[in-house]
Structure 1
């Protein structure tokens, strides 16, 4: 029972971190200030990534396009804006994870942010 609770807590923390990164980037790039919207975007983006990244040779490229498509679908501004939100979210996730993992020694990831 304890490993299940630990896994659930780790998933929730990683989802909150991914949502925070998307929230920061969506606020900066698209002027959208809705944290719950960002959390759902992180969850749907992670699902899109998981469904496509396994494809041999082109999977990571298709997964990245699918992830940006999710951001484009959830936020205003078109594909360029979605790519900018994704890039700033990735940078934000790296900064958040640096503080959580290096300074506070949490050992978490960012669910919904590829490569973070």
Structure 2
């Protein structure tokens, strides 16, 4: 008995259609869950910002003092991190190479490496 290719084609097409339909429904459900989580998180952020009162001058100056203290602590902490130590090593290595063989490449490499290290210590962001 020869297979009925028309029925086989319809069966495969129906299977593909149902598979895509189920996949689309699961994708839509996952997207709605993700959007719900994001919007609830944004509602929390907006609620905390709007519920805080406007700071007076004394609060602003004390916040500035705390912020500068935090920057000093963060700078010293950043020097002791793995990234800080690696960037410091690269800066020292490029500086040694620039003093041993002062070419344009080693001098600019030393400047770049030390600038990246200093930027990381100041901001916590590694430059590329």
Query: After TM superposition, is the score higher than 0.5?
Result: no
TM-score, normalization by structure 2: 0.27
**Which of these two proteins has the greater Rg computed from alpha carbons?**
2
Bigger proportion of residues as helix: 2
Higher relative contact order (CA 8 A, sep 6+): 1
